Chains A and B, each alone.
Chain A
Amino acid sequence: MKKLRVKIFRIGMRGCGRDTGEVSCLLIAWSEGDQAALERLTPIVYNELRRMAARYMRNERPGHTLQSTALVHEAYARLVDYKRMQWQNRAHFFAIAAQLMRRILVEHARHHGVKRGAGIRHISLDEAPMLAARGDPDLVALDDAMSDLARLDPRKVQVVEMRYFGGLSVEETAEVLKISAITVKRDWSTARTWLYRELTDGNAHGSPAMETT
């Protein structure tokens, strides 16, 4: 079995030709089912995204929406010889990149930020209007809530990953997850409201909606 995998991988590599970059080859190999290719691909993409994210956060003034949405696209353009790729490869790339962006940004928040307590318990700081105004959730808490939601509905979490962390459009998300744009919008709407409730009310509802008391 192991041998076979290596073989497929090699074929993938050979198929790429000389001037196709390493990432492109790995991506093609992975799209064709080679999990080892994914293992090699992940750290490369991870490092590139992390570098770009760090650069973004250093240089961009907060509030500038300038290039942030394009980060994943830019990584794709930098790493992959996209002219030779089919869209399926692109979708694969976006899927992994969005997941990695979540990891990077949550790690960043964990490292730099404050681990919040269990939400707003009794002193009202009325977080809700602030969240609405700034739209900035606590990424660590968001990550936790997403993990909770994943147990109930993994696809909705993927949609949030693609759109919010990956910056993909509705159409791209639909393409990556192979579902319709309408389903993406619908998933997005439920997930967003649910997550918002978890992050603003937390304890008022008991532990995040897993069991109600």
Chain B
Amino acid sequence: MATPMDPQRWKQLDDLFQAALDHPPDERDSFLRRACAGDEDLERQVRSLLAHDDSAQGFLAGHAIEAAARSSASEDPGRESLLGSQIGHYRLVEEIGSGGMGVVYKAQDLELGRDVALKFLPDELAQDLSALERFRREARSASRLNHPNICTIYEIGKDSGRSFIAMEYLEGSTLKHRIQGRPLAIETLVPLAIEIADALETAHSAGIIHRDIKPANIFVTGREHAKILDFGLAKFESVGEFGSQSSSVVARTIDQQITATGSVMGTVSHMSPEQVRGEPLDRRTDLFSFGVVLYEMATGRLPFPGQESATVPAAILKEAPPAPGSLNPALPAGIERIILKCLEKDRELRYQHASEIRADFLRFQSDGANVIPRPAGRRWLSMTAAVIGIIVLSLAGYFYFHRTPKLSDKDTIVLADFLNKTGDPVFDGTLRQGLALQLEQSPFLSFIPDRRIAATLALMGKDKNVPFTPEIAREVCERTDSAAVIDGSIDALGTKYVVGLTARNCHTGDIIYEEQVQAQRKEDVLGALTDIAIKFRTHVGESLATVKQYSVPLAEATTPSLEALKAYSTGQAAGITQGAPHALLFLQRAIALDPNFAMAYATLGLTYSSVGDMSLARENTTKAWQLRDRVSQHEKFSIELLYQRVATGNLEKARQVCEMWSQAYPRDNYPHSFLAGGLLLGMGRFERAEEEGKKAVELAPDNAYGYHNLANSYILRNRPDEARPVLKRAFDRKLMIHEFIGLQYQIAFLQRDQAEMDRVYSMSLDRADTEDWVCNMAAGAAAYWGRLQQARTRSRQAVDLAVSTGHVERASQEEAAHAVREFFFGYPAEARRAAAAALAYANNRDAEAGAGLALAFVKDPRCEALIEDLHRRFPEDTIAQFNHLPVLRAQLALNRRDFAAALELLQPAAQYELGWQGAQSSGFTGSLYPIYIRGQAYLAAGKGAEAALEFQKIIANIGVVSDDPTILVPARVQLARAFVLAGELSKAKAAYDDLFVLWKQADSEIPILREVKTEYEQILIRMRK
């Protein structure tokens, strides 16, 4: 019996929904059952909202005006008039759906007097003859399918230039709506499954595979019959067995074509592993997708869930889904086995025919008991003959055709590989890199960076290591909406060399610029390249003034050695395609070949810093900086920045370099990206970091670090809801850097989503580049919830992993975090031991600060020497001077019970103390510690109210320490004590209560917990008086 919705009931719904969201996903079910106490209508309403919550995350993410602008840009003025009009012998009654794949109307068939559904090709494809032909051909083929459980195609028609498909009009709802996050009853599930399997078998025997089986494509009629939809967009498989006959012509479905052009993201959650890998498909792909559907019907959940579509494919390829029976205990084991067999990753191990699935369900139905899937009947022949042609849609006419041969400062350029006709491998890759370095100096030109080229190649389904020929470059040029593609060649002419360069408009093929230059000797080739580059820049419209100002010849600026340049460019490419560590060897070789190669040192320094080896990072960036007089202006900016950022640690100076850099090169994303990262975040200027992050993303939508920094600016402000869509955008562009995993963990932590935290944690386990620091985060999170044993295990694991992968600096920082944590929980001896252990691994800045703090806490005199050392080694370092040293010195003052001195020593920290100090590696960071020590000073001085304010500040800024929230534990304890001191007993009680709620699953034998419980008893006694 449903109750009408009124404001009061709505409020109930709202409260329950929010309360449910506060529970981890796996507890929501039992929570709701308890909270709704039998009010089924209410429970259903809340569940329905919960089921939509995930997909609603990206909804209303932008702003209305952008949506309005987009819709008016894409709208079709003719569409409006269709309603009520007559198309052929159909009258359009009502629009029943629309989207990227077209518009569907309910219509009346005037001849036969029945209702039909009319589907029109989307307008953007209607002009494309090949798409049109395919639309019709596929619909024709699907219309051959006559099966009660497949939506019937009546007619493929054309009227006044519009092609349409007329099909059966159905009433009811899609399976997606039926499931709504809840398992179907077995009595409902089995008959539907039998019908779907039957329909699939019929289609497959006709040589048609669907390729997009999902609950939204399966309709359940009012009489509980299944109807598979959108077969009209399916494709042919060669009739007969897989691959034995001549390859068939296969078209991609229309929605996937749209995906290929980048405007709409397809659904990945139901794809088969072979589909994810982009391999040739046969009917067994449908059987896997059907398995996913069955899993949803049986459990209400997806087997491979994930908020971020980019994580789903990995799960599909690698992870075993949770057993359906564990999610729905009422599910018979027989059905579970059928589902799991459908979901076999190796298609040879799956069911081979839909009829086998149907038979197993029928057998289940008749004896209601154990159905054991039979082993695959035969091994299939190799798939190689079934080569499937992929037709790439060319959107001719879409692009703006540049008529003028010049470029503007809005245009971007794509550089193709040079054609090396000399037979000397030293020129392979080198000339392209050399030209890039030369053109990079120009503030006027901008070319597509290699990272983005790699991402575009991935979208094109090409390997990122494919030779970057002019033809492929031209396609990349078109896809990135660039203006021109440049390719070049080098040929030997006796002892001389001829270097040629051609720039073409990639949309028209028109030549914009062509030039050949001779070099007398091999050593002169780089000089020749410089000449060509300068001529090109002048020719395409750059002002003479900037050409003159920014054109240091390659040999003088970068390196005179072709071999060194080659090693450098190979290293850069390896770094981009295989990850930073792969660049190391090449960069070292480049330096061995040219010991004055400044950019090689700088890049090497950056590489070391990204894996947390800070002393090597400092050494190399310093070396680059010493060589800075021999570089171009553009290189000088990046060297100066890296030097300040990595070697001196002077954040203010680094910030100034970024500002100058972005003024000189307004189109370069790097200064913005660096600003948005550790620089502004370290200073606590999160709003500004957000702005810069947005700018970086806008300028370079394929630089993963832009998204990283932008998302981080939200996370640090405890706005995980806003960080998530940013990561999603990166994933949608197929960007993945190991740092994203850490952010995902922090988001999950801030949303108190334990299941997601576990998922991210297990995702990190197989990656040497993430596992130790995600382990360390997990240790921090466990400590935050009082699970000390778990925190210790994770922390140990983190340190061991870091050591075993050769990252001793990370190990020392992680050990230092452990030392501080142990002290807070009441184990001073372990804190002292761990501090010494941390210092034995390495002595980087943060490890020394963390170990020093642990030693200061336990009043160990070794702390003094560490302070000296930090001060001496990091005289200009913002974090050392304004965060670590004030904290350590103030704690020593507290040890002397000199509260006034402690407060004064903390003064310099005030300006950056809300900043995030965690940009370098993982483990102890020192974020928020000045505030904590100040609170301690007030507390010791007997100023309860002032102390309480400081501790509250820490609790309010949980985002800043979401990478290691340990500090919140002592902050909460001390807050309660500060209230006691201030005589505010009820506030104190509330603070203790908060702590107990937080620690409801804490280990019981923790000293600090025992202490706190005793204090709490005393409060209660005092309050009763």
Stretch at the interface among B91-99, B484-492, B660-668, B676-684: B91-99
Q: Within 8 Å of chain B (Cβ to Cβ): is A86?
A: no
Residues of A within 8 Å of B177, CB to CB, are: 201, 204
Q: Within 8 Å of chain A (Cβ to Cβ): is B64?
A: yes
Q: Within 8 Å of chain A (Cβ to Cβ): is B21?
A: yes
What 4 pairs between A and B have smallest CB-CB spacing? A196-B56, A117-B95, A62-B70, A125-B99
Evaluate contact between B97 and A105: CB separation under 8 angstroms. Answer: no
Evaluate contact between B216 and A164: CB separation under 8 angstroms. Answer: no
Which residue of the partner chain, among B74, B97, B106, B698, contacts A127 with CB atoms under 8 Å? B97
Q: Can you list 22 residue pairs at the A/B interface with Cβ under 8 Å?
A: A61-B73, A65-B66, A68-B66, A105-B64, A109-B71, A112-B71, A114-B75, A114-B80, A116-B98, A119-B96, A122-B169, A124-B97, A124-B174, A135-B59, A135-B62, A135-B67, A151-B7, A152-B5, A167-B63, A186-B18, A193-B17, A204-B177
Evaluate contact between A135 and B61: CB separation under 8 angstroms. Answer: yes
Evaluate contact between B230 and A136: CB separation under 8 angstroms. Answer: no
Q: A9 CA to B79 CA in the complex, in Å?
A: 49
Residue of B nearest to A117 (CB): B95
Residues of B within 8 Å of A127, CB to CB, are: 97-99
| A124–chain B nearest beta-carbon distance, Å | 4
Evaluate contact between B14 and A153: CB separation under 8 angstroms. Answer: yes
Stretch at the interface among B235-243, B259-267, B298-306, B603-611: B259-267
Residues of B within 8 Å of A128, CB to CB, are: 55, 216
| Given pairs A65-B63, A135-B62, A192-B59, 8 additional interface contacts (CB within 8 A) | A65-B698, A105-B64, A116-B95, A122-B170, A122-B171, A123-B167, A167-B63, A190-B18
Evaluate contact between A108 and B68: CB separation under 8 angstroms. Answer: yes
Residue of A nearest to B62 (CB): A135
Q: Within 8 Å of chain B (Cβ to Cβ): is A73?
A: no
Evaluate contact between B63 and A164: CB separation under 8 angstroms. Answer: yes
User: Which residues of A in the span 30-70 have a Cβ within 8 Å of any Cβ on B?
Assistant: 53, 56-57, 60-66, 68-69
Evaluate contact between A210 and B5: CB separation under 8 angstroms. Answer: yes
Evaluate contact between A153 and B60: CB separation under 8 angstroms. Answer: no
Evaluate contact between B265 and A133: CB separation under 8 angstroms. Answer: yes
Residues of B within 8 Å of A61, CB to CB, are: 73
Residues of B within 8 Å of A82, CB to CB, are: none
Q: Within 8 Å of chain A (Cβ to Cβ): is B478?
A: no
Q: A200 CA to B52 CA in the complex, in Å?
A: 9
Evaluate contact between B60 and A126: CB separation under 8 angstroms. Answer: no
Chain A interface, number of residues (Cβ within 8 angstroms): 72
Residue among A119, A134, A153, A204 having the largest count of chain B Cβ atoms under 10 Å: A134
Evaluate contact between A197 and B56: CB separation under 8 angstroms. Answer: yes
Evaluate contact between B2 and A213: CB separation under 8 angstroms. Answer: yes
Which residue of the partner chain, among A120, A132, A189, contacts B21 with CB atoms under 8 Å? A189
Residue of A nearest to B268 (CB): A129
Residues of B within 8 Å of A167, CB to CB, are: 63, 65
Given A62-B74, A125-B102, A126-B267, decide whether A131 and B95 contact each other with a Cβ distance below 8 A.
Answer: no
Evaluate contact between A153 and B10: CB separation under 8 angstroms. Answer: yes
Evaluate contact between A125 and B72: CB separation under 8 angstroms. Answer: no
Given A133-B58, A164-B60, A197-B49, decide whether A57 and B721 contact each other with a Cβ distance below 8 A.
Answer: no
Q: A209 CA to B546 CA in the complex, in Å?
A: 63
Residues of A within 8 Å of B62, CB to CB, are: 65, 68, 135-136
Evaluate contact between B264 and A130: CB separation under 8 angstroms. Answer: yes
Q: Within 8 Å of chain A (Cβ to Cβ): is B219?
A: yes
Evaluate contact between A62 and B69: CB separation under 8 angstroms. Answer: yes
Q: Within 8 Å of chain B (Cβ to Cβ): is A92?
A: no
Evaluate contact between B101 and A193: CB separation under 8 angstroms. Answer: no
Residues of B within 8 Å of A213, CB to CB, are: 2
Evaluate contact between A165 and B216: CB separation under 8 angstroms. Answer: no
Evaluate contact between A210 and B4: CB separation under 8 angstroms. Answer: yes
| A138–chain B nearest beta-carbon distance, Å | 8
| B10–chain A nearest beta-carbon distance, Å | 4
Which residue of the partner chain, among B11, B60, B100, contacts A137 with CB atoms under 8 Å? B60
Q: A32 CA to B63 CA in the complex, in Å?
A: 31
Given A57-B72, A167-B65, decide whether A125 and B55 contact each other with a Cβ distance below 8 A.
Answer: no
Interface residues of B, Cβ cutoff 8 Å to A = 2-7, 10-11, 14, 17-18, 21, 41, 45, 48-49, 52-53, 55-75, 79-80, 94-102, 104, 106, 117, 119, 167, 169-174, 176-177, 214, 216-217, 219, 229-230, 264-267, 694, 698, 719, 721, 732
| B67–chain A nearest beta-carbon distance, Å | 4
Given A105-B64, A135-B60, decide whether A185 and B216 contact each other with a Cβ distance below 8 A.
Answer: no
Evaluate contact between A126 and B71: CB separation under 8 angstroms. Answer: no
User: Which residues of A in the span 120-176 have a Cβ within 8 Å of any Cβ on B?
Assistant: 120-137, 139, 151-153, 160, 163-165, 167, 170
Residues of B within 8 Å of A136, CB to CB, are: 62, 66-67, 70-71
Residue of A nearest to B728 (CB): A132
Evaluate contact between B5 and A71: CB separation under 8 angstroms. Answer: no
Interface residues of A, Cβ cutoff 8 Å to B = 53, 56-57, 60-66, 68-69, 71, 101-102, 105, 108-109, 112-114, 116-137, 139, 151-153, 160, 163-165, 167, 170, 185-186, 189-190, 192-197, 200-201, 204-205, 209-213
Evaluate contact between B5 and A196: CB separation under 8 angstroms. Answer: no
Given A122-B96, A132-B59, A137-B59, decide whether A62 and B66 contact each other with a Cβ distance below 8 A.
Answer: yes
Q: A21 CA to B401 CA in the complex, in Å?
A: 47
Evaluate contact between B4 and A102: CB separation under 8 angstroms. Answer: no
Residue of A nearest to B93 (CB): A117
Residue of A nearest to B722 (CB): A170
| A135–chain B nearest beta-carbon distance, Å | 5
Main SS of chain A's interface residues? helix
Residues of A within 8 Å of B267, CB to CB, are: 126, 129
Evaluate contact between B4 and A101: CB separation under 8 angstroms. Answer: no
Q: A164 CA to B171 CA in the complex, in Å?
A: 35
Residue of B nearest to A206 (CB): B2
Q: A187 CA to B296 CA in the complex, in Å?
A: 30
Evaluate contact between B5 and A209: CB separation under 8 angstroms. Answer: yes
Given A109-B71, A136-B70, decide whether A197 and B48 contact each other with a Cβ distance below 8 A.
Answer: yes
| A197–chain B nearest beta-carbon distance, Å | 4
Q: A116 CA to B96 CA in the complex, in Å?
A: 8
Given A132-B58, A190-B14, decide whether A125 and B69 contact each other with a Cβ distance below 8 A.
Answer: no
Residues of B within 8 Å of A132, CB to CB, are: 55, 57-59, 265
Residues of A within 8 Å of B57, CB to CB, are: 132
Residues of B within 8 Å of A130, CB to CB, are: 99-100, 264
Evaluate contact between B5 and A212: CB separation under 8 angstroms. Answer: yes
| A141–chain B nearest beta-carbon distance, Å | 11
Evaluate contact between A123 and B69: CB separation under 8 angstroms. Answer: no
Residue of B nearest to A127 (CB): B99
| B148–chain A nearest beta-carbon distance, Å | 16
Evaluate contact between A211 and B4: CB separation under 8 angstroms. Answer: yes
Which residue of the partner chain, among B98, B167, B169, B719, contacts A125 with CB atoms under 8 Å? B98
| B270–chain A nearest beta-carbon distance, Å | 11
Evaluate contact between A211 and B100: CB separation under 8 angstroms. Answer: no
Evaluate contact between A124 and B216: CB separation under 8 angstroms. Answer: yes
| A61–chain B nearest beta-carbon distance, Å | 8
Residue among A108, A123, A132, A134 having the largest count of chain B Cβ atoms under 10 Å: A123
Residues of A within 8 Å of B60, CB to CB, are: 135, 137, 160, 163-164, 192, 195-196
Residues of B within 8 Å of A119, CB to CB, are: 96-97
Residues of B within 8 Å of A152, CB to CB, are: 5-7, 10
Evaluate contact between A68 and B65: CB separation under 8 angstroms. Answer: yes
Evaluate contact between B5 and A137: CB separation under 8 angstroms. Answer: no
Evaluate contact between B264 and A134: CB separation under 8 angstroms. Answer: yes
Evaluate contact between A122 and B117: CB separation under 8 angstroms. Answer: yes
Q: A148 CA to B141 CA in the complex, in Å?
A: 44
| B760–chain A nearest beta-carbon distance, Å | 21
| B675–chain A nearest beta-carbon distance, Å | 18
Residues of A within 8 Å of B265, CB to CB, are: 129, 132-133
Evaluate contact between A101 and B59: CB separation under 8 angstroms. Answer: no
Q: A103 CA to B741 CA in the complex, in Å?
A: 42
Given A62-B69, A101-B65, A197-B52, decide whether A124 and B219 contact each other with a Cβ distance below 8 A.
Answer: yes
Evaluate contact between A193 and B5: CB separation under 8 angstroms. Answer: no
Residue of B nearest to A71 (CB): B65
Residue of B nearest to A98 (CB): B64
Q: A152 CA to B14 CA in the complex, in Å?
A: 11
